[in-house]
A and B are shown apart, each in its own frame.
Chain A
Amino acid sequence: MRKTQSILPGFGPALGYTLTYISLVLLIPLAMVFLKTLTMSWETFWRTVTDPRVLASYRLSFLASFLGASINGIFGLLLAWVLVRYRFPGQRIIDALLDLPFAMPTAVAGIALTTLYSTNGWFGRYLENIGIKVAYTPLGVVVALTFIGLPFVVRTIQPVLQDLDKEYEEAAASLGASRWQTFSRVIFPALVPSWLTGFALAFARALGEYGSVVFISGNMPMRTEITPLLIRTKLEQFDYTGATAIALVMMIISFILLLIINLLQNWNRRRMASH
């Protein structure tokens, strides 16, 4: 057998580094979660993770994260489009502002949003008049998760959009495509992989978010408790295994969802290549 030589040298050391690094930073900490949970009996595990309060929190966490990521999916795309395709005064500043949700301590974000949306806040007071309550309701959770996820979609789409030659659009137009057709048939398909990545990142980030949400959600049992808060309440009782059990379930569901998004991307790439 002949050893197949890669064109790029250094496969061995590179893989070695990668595996060591992933193990140290990612796999070993994750394995700790598994190991801690293993000390539980199956019945206690099942009772812990299917408690009505915990179930209610999964529903809220996953649904609110999904909604937040979807909102960012739509408006992030729009924002990226505007920032790449148009020139206007103050553009650089807006561009830089977009990263703030990354840098801001999440508690600060949570307090600021609550101030705006509570019934005596700038937005909340008018929303109250038309019968919409945001702070201390599930809607408030969505607002917070939308805020912290904003940069992901914009930042993943921006470079792709920048690299997309105007000539494609001109070609499409010269072949008689309408503006909508140009967008839906030419531009959007090229953006889908990065758009999905942005969505997945925003979704994953939202699932794990704690700091900003606990301020705006009101933490009412069965109604506005997110899963990370329940993990905290377990820890407050020094119930480490209970906490890791819930974390484990959350990790598994998140992993499956992220895997699906990855598969979708692959499927899309192959579909594009075959065109």
Chain B
Amino acid sequence: MKRKIGLLFALILVLTLGLVSVSAADRPITLLNVSYDPTRELYQDYNAAFVKYWKAKTGQTVTIQQSHGGSGSQARAVIDGLEADVVTLALAYDIDAIVEKAKLIPAQWQKRLPDNSAPYTSTIVFLVRKGNPKNIKDWDDLVKPGITVITPNPKTSGGARWNYLAAWGYALKKNGNNQQKAQEFVTKLFKNVPVLDSGARGSTNTFVQRGIGDVLLAWENEAFLALNELGKDKFEIIVPSISILAEPPVTIVDKVVDKRGTRKLAEEYLKYLYSREGQEIVARNYYRPRLKSVAEKYETQFPKVKLFTIDEVFGGWQKAQTIHFNDGGIFDKIYQAK
């Protein structure tokens, strides 16, 4: 009996060690790209293309691993020790957090690659039901009484922060930069929001599957994906007159690539995003490309819209986060002022 129990313990020990050692087994050259949810399809395509490109250039075979999740959770995973060679997140604020909390990346990371280190952009658009029964054309229509708007909670969702800031920026432009007026506008808008899902996919689900709401605020690429997957006969995309330029940034994680000896590969991986082929893949996955020639080719896919950036209107992510979304910020006041 005693021996049996001993054996059992030994077995458990061996199995545990086995699990640990399998993951540490000798690995070929790999690269881990830690990204956020809506880039899954984009990076699947891109990785396949990059592996081919790298093989032709250097003869090396690389395996690229992807990890997706909420942008903030992914940043925390990297802070807590997930060894990402590159991070491709939804907002600069999340990468700033990696800089600040874990010091894995130098502070001026965003200057290292062209266009604020954002090789592709997107914007916030409206998804409405087919035929646009409530006749929603622009931001002003969202605050009308009787309209229900679906957007996730800006406290938990990076995407929702873009939605909120897009509305705020619109109201500023319309009211000659009057912050008070902008706050009133956004407050009114959120009065029309019946549900705050915790993430962007949750909101899409509420709008599409539950049939709740007249309009969904969504990233343009997500709106296209929803349209393709759920049928063009049910929904349509409305592009407002003014919106925000969403710049999802990318960077290598210096401390990790130096430790793993993958710096060259990681840098090339990100640079190739700016190449013609990279930009084509970006556009095919409904992100707006930076390269002019590609942008012209896909002109019909992306309607022209006046775009403003976070830096212009809000003075950068850090500031926007502190003023609007941190505890005690304006978003909290909108809900606690009752």
Contact = CB atoms under 8 A, between A and B. Distances in A.
A120 B155 contact: no
A239 B72 CA distance: 12
A119 B212 contact: yes
A143 to B, nearest CB: 15
B156 interface: yes
B244 to A, nearest CB: 19
B326 interface: yes
Report the interface size class on chain B.
20 to 34
A121 B206 CA distance: 12
Nearest to A213: B198
Contacts of B112: none
A77 interface: no
A219 B210 contact: no
B76 A237 contact: no
Interface in B4-59: none
A218 B335 CA distance: 14
Contacts of B75: 238
A16 interface: no
Nearest to B329: A237
B251 to A, nearest CB: 17
A206 to B, nearest CB: 18
Nearest to B9: A17
Nearest to B96: A238
Nearest to A120: B211
B97 interface: yes
Contact of B195 (A51, A53, A220): A220
A165 interface: no
A235 B76 CA distance: 8
Contacts of B100: 238
B197 A215 contact: yes
A55 to B, nearest CB: 11
B338 A222 contact: yes
Contacts of A233: 153, 155-156
Interface string A209-226: 000001100111110000
A242 B197 contact: no
A48 B101 CA distance: 21
Contacts of B326: 237, 239
B300 interface: no
Contact of A221 (B101, B212, B332): B332
Given A111-B205, A237-B326, A232 B212 contact: no
B207 to A, nearest CB: 11
Interface in B166-195: 194-195
A239 B321 CA distance: 13
A237 B327 contact: yes
A43 interface: no
A136 interface: yes
A212 B337 CA distance: 29
**Most chain B CB atoms below 10 A, which of A135, A233, A234, A238:** A238
Contact of B209 (A115, A236, A239): A115
Contacts of A53: 332, 335-336
12 contacts: A115-B209, A118-B211, A136-B195, A214-B202, A215-B197, A218-B196, A219-B153, A219-B196, A220-B196, A233-B155, A238-B100, A239-B327
> 4 closest A-B pairs (Cβ-Cβ)?
A221-B335, A233-B155, A218-B195, A236-B72
Interface of A: 48, 51-53, 111, 114-115, 118-121, 135-136, 214-215, 218-222, 229, 232-239, 242
